[in-house]
């Protein structure tokens, strides 16, 4: 029952990203519309159900668990779940428990996260300009996020900044962001904007800044050396010689990274997406709720789902149209 998960293309599935809520206290323009309709709370997995789900995946060989949302730290009593997951770290069955956050609640929760076994957090931050930050997040406050980052570092958490590359928005901050992260001893990863969900009046092609172009601009100022390092995710890394700094690139549009994909995504309603850029999914909530006394049906359903994991996604902007667009929002699938 506990044999490792292997997909049809002989890739071991060792990384689970779990959305614990579709709610967020920001409304980033590339992620969701300003006036979102969120799921009824009864449809969300309870914290106890999330525990059973994640523990099932750990039994099947998942070694890295990333908690996402929405904004995961706005979920009521979420630290109960983090404390429960620590037992897998303590038992040696899980290598890493981490999360991706917008940083708004880090000042409040950083110390608790460290006590739960979290050692790294990814903070989404696209600009250091307070006015632009308010514009891109619609509801966000930059000083609150910066205080959260400081609290995380002071608590002993390693912070990585995730920046979505947005044409005409943060192109002029490329070097400022890079140098700020270097001065704070924080890693930095750039991400291409992905065609996920209806975002209102915003246009994807207007937002898209190829990381090929971004990397070329970095090379005008720094010496970039390719790194063989892998963090268990889709990023490819370089090191800047002048700052001895690690920079990551997540390039689903300009360079497909699917050949080494080791991850699947669980939504807050118990749907398992085998690929971020495909609509195929499996309902794991039903076998979980229909069998409160046994995890065997859930384990069987997970195994069956992995047999349908596709070779790769269909995201494509190359013909100046948005190809492979997903109907669901990133906040539903898990950021």
Can you list the domains of the chain with their CATH numbers? Answer: 15-329 (3.20.20.70)
Q: Which ranges in 62-210 belong to alpha helices (H)? A: 78-90, 106-115, 130-137, 142-154, 174-183, 204-207
Of 273, 279, 269, nearest to 261 by C-alpha is 273
pTM of the complete model: 0.88
Average pLDDT over residues 52-65: 97
pLDDT at 28 (0 to 100): 87
Annotated binding-site ranges: 17, 24, 28, 30-31, 66, 70, 100, 124, 160, 194, 258, 261, 263-265, 275
Distance CA 300, CA 288 (A): 11
User: What six digits make up the tokens of 121?
Assistant: 């957090």
Average pLDDT over residues 166-175: 94
Question: Quick count: other Cβ atoms within 10 Å of Cβ 232?
Answer: 15
Average pLDDT over residues 193-214: 67
Q: What is the DSSP letter of 191?
A: E
pLDDT at 14 (0 to 100): 96
Average pLDDT over residues 94-116: 98
Annotated binding-site ranges for S-adenosyl-L-methionine: 30, 70, 124, 194
Contact criterion met (CB below 8 Å) for 85 and 116: yes
pLDDT exceeds cutoff 60 at 200:
no
Question: What is the chain's mean pLDDT, rounded?
Answer: 88
CA atoms within 13 A on the CB side of 323: 11
Average pLDDT over residues 101-124: 98
pLDDT in tens, 28-46: 888 887 888 888 988 999 9
pLDDT at 276 (0 to 100): 76
Length of the chain: 335
Average pLDDT over residues 270-291: 92
Lowest mean pLDDT of 119-133, 170-184, 254-268, 290-304, name the range: 254-268
Annotated binding-site ranges for [4Fe-4S] cluster: 24, 28, 31, 258, 261, 275
CB under 8 Å to 214, separation ≥6 — which residues?
165, 174, 190, 249
pLDDT exceeds cutoff 50 at 320:
no
Distance CA 22, CA 38 (A): 7
User: Binning pLDDT at 50, 70 and 90, where does residue 1 land?
Assistant: low
Average pLDDT over residues 86-110: 97
Annotated binding-site ranges for GTP: 17, 66, 100, 160, 263-265
3 state SS of 216:
helix
């Amino acid at each position: 029952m506990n044999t490792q998960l292997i997909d049809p293309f002989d890739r071991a599935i060792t990384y689970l990203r779990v959305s614990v809520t579709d709610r967020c206290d920001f409304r980033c323009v590339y992620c969701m519309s300003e006036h979102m309709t969120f799921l009824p709370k009864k449809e969300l997995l309870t914290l106890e159900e999330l525990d059973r789900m994640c523990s099932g995946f750990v039994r099947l060989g998942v070694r890295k668990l990333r908690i996402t949302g929405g904004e995961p730290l706005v979920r009521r009593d979420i630290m109960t779940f983090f404390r429960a997951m620590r037992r897998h770290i303590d038992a040696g069955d899980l290598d890493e428990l981490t999360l991706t956050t917008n940083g708004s609640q880090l000042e409040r929760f950083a110390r608790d996260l460290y006590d739960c076994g979290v050692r790294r957090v990814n903070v989404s931050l696209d600009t250091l300009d307070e006015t632009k930050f308010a514009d891109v997040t619609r509801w966000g406050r930059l000083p609150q996020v910066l205080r959260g980052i400081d609290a995380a570092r002071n608590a002993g958490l390693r912070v990585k900044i995730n920046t979505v590359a947005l044409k005409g928005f943060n192109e002029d901050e490329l070097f400022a962001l890079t140098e700020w992260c270097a001065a704070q001893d924080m890693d930095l990863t750039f991400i291409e904007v992905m065609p996920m969900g209806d975002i209102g009046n915003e246009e994807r092609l207007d937002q898209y800044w190829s990381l090929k172009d971004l990397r070329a601009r970095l090379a005008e100022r720094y010496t970039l050396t390719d790194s063989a390092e892998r963090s268990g995710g889709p990023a490819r890394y370089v090191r800047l010689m002048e700052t001895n700094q690690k920079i990551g690139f997540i390039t689903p549009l300009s360079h497909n990274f699917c050949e080494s994909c080791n991850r699947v995504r669980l939504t807050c309603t118990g749907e398992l997406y085998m690929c971020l850029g495909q609509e195929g999914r499996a309902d794991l909530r039903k076998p979980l709720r229909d069998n409160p006394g046994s995890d065997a049906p859930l384990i069987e359903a997970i195994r069956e789902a992995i047999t349908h994991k596709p070779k790769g996604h269909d995201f494509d902007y190359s013909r100046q149209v948005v190809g492979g667009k997903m109907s669901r929002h990133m906040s539903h699938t898990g950021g």
